[in-house]
Amino acid sequence: MNLDRLATLLTPEGAEALAAAMEVSERDPLAATSALRARAIAPELAATALTQAVLRRRAEAKFGADAPVMFFTRAGLEQATRAKVAARRAARLAASGTRTVADLGCGVGADAIAFARAGLRVLAVDADPLTAAVAAANVAALGLADRVSVTAMDAREVGLDGVDAVFCDPARRTTSGRRVFDPTAFSPPWDFVIGLTERVPRTVLKLAPGIDHALVPPGAEAQWVSVRGEVVEAAFWCGPLAEVPRRATLLRGDEVHELTGSGEELAPVGPVRRYLYDPDGAVVRAHLVAEFAATVDGTLADPTIAYVYADSPTPTPYGRCLEIVEVLPFSLKRLRSALRARGAGRITIAKRGSAVDVERLRRDLKPVGDAELTVVLTRVAGAPTALLCTPVGQWGR
């Protein structure tokens, strides 16, 4: 999509084409295109509307009931904050006393929308003119234009004297869509992003989950967020917004669970025990495995691997629990023999601290039988080990 095509979608003719496209977008692409052309919709408009309809359907997982009236680019949808995550961030920012916020790198407007709904006034900017135009269209479509102003401009040129807080989500992809892992190559670059914490005390930075802990500003809170077990972002809460050194936030349906701590504690190390806990990725990323282990009276079998072992199962939202039925020094021959002895034909393979190629192992095992087992590949006291396990309930799912 380009600016001209977006402008066309915003006309009455474009709205009619979009409505028609939404009706047929689940059909085969050729059939959907034919259906729109049968309604005398111009080919270019039909193609644009169909693309938008497909994106809207994909967006329902992130934006729920808002998705059918919003506008998206492919990259913008992929990088957009999930509505539930944005709403929690906005509520926390509003509770801090913030009334006006600059949203630098606003994308398609997910966070700006949440800020506005939380009662904040928002100055939203994006360096890409099309992305900024899409954000403006979304703000208008959701009836929030009186609280949000959207401008296409470089974040480094934005005056911040009139805002209480800054939210910055630097672009971490190239124009071709390739991921950028070097913070100096972010847009805007890291030196500008981190400098915001000195210009505006209430600063929140949204970053990729793999961000290095060494980049956390002194005194800031580093939060990792997972949605239904998938780690979706990290956020640095700076200045007076910081409440704890590290936080793991787990969103599972309508439930919210949070684990906090220093991120520097070390869990005790001991032997493999009867139950294994696989902590949620947000817990692991936040370096809160020791804090999690304490909640289940657990220990590690290797100080460098985030599997927690305990003698009894404790219901917890922070990790998946498995019962260990056999412990094997890892070898293909031993593992294949053990699985066949148990009649295990349905195998789930998980690993931490193992270099084994999972797909190749799955082919080499050639499992047969009806029993279902989970094979956990890991290290115990430095030695490659395979654990045969069965699930315990649905904890942490």
In the prediction, which pLDDT does 36 show? 83
Distance in angstroms (rounded) separating the CA atoms of residues 44 and 56: 18
Is residue 314 a contact partner of residue 296, using CB atoms and an 8 Å limit?
A: yes
DSSP 204-270: EEEE-TT--GGGSPTT-EEEEEEETTEEEEEEEE-GGG--SSEEEEEEETTEEEEEEE-S-----B-
Domain 77-243: what homologous superfamily? Vaccinia Virus protein VP39 (3.40.50.150)
Is residue 298 a contact partner of residue 309, using CB atoms and an 8 Å limit?
A: yes
Distance in angstroms (rounded) separating the CA atoms of residues 392 and 277: 10
In this structure, the chain runs to a length of 397
Is residue 294 a contact partner of residue 314, using CB atoms and an 8 Å limit?
A: no
Hey, what amino acid is at 272?
V
In the prediction, which pLDDT does 227 show? 95
In the prediction, which pLDDT does 397 show? 44
pLDDT, tens digit only, all 397 positions of the chain: 899 999 999 999 999 988 988 888 777 777 888 888 888 788 888 889 999 999 999 999 999 999 999 999 999 999 999 999 999 999 999 999 999 999 999 999 999 999 999 999 999 999 999 999 999 999 999 999 999 999 999 999 999 998 999 999 998 776 666 777 788 888 899 999 999 999 999 999 999 999 999 999 999 999 999 999 999 999 999 999 999 999 999 999 889 999 999 999 999 999 999 999 999 999 999 999 999 999 999 999 999 999 999 999 999 999 999 999 999 999 999 999 999 999 998 999 999 999 999 999 988 988 888 889 999 999 998 899 999 999 996 544 4
pLDDT digits (tens, 9 = 90+) for 323-353: 999 999 999 999 999 999 999 989 999 999 9
Distance in angstroms (rounded) separating the CA atoms of residues 43 and 61: 29
Distance in angstroms (rounded) separating the CA atoms of residues 270 and 143: 57
From the list 286, 302, 364, the residue with the least C-alpha distance to 331 is 364
- Quick check: bond before 188 cis, omega within 30? yes
Please calculate the CA angle 78-84-87 and round it to the nearest 5 degrees: 110
Query: Which residues are CB-contacts of 229 (< 8 A; sequence separation ≥ 6)?
Result: 252, 280, 281, 396, 397
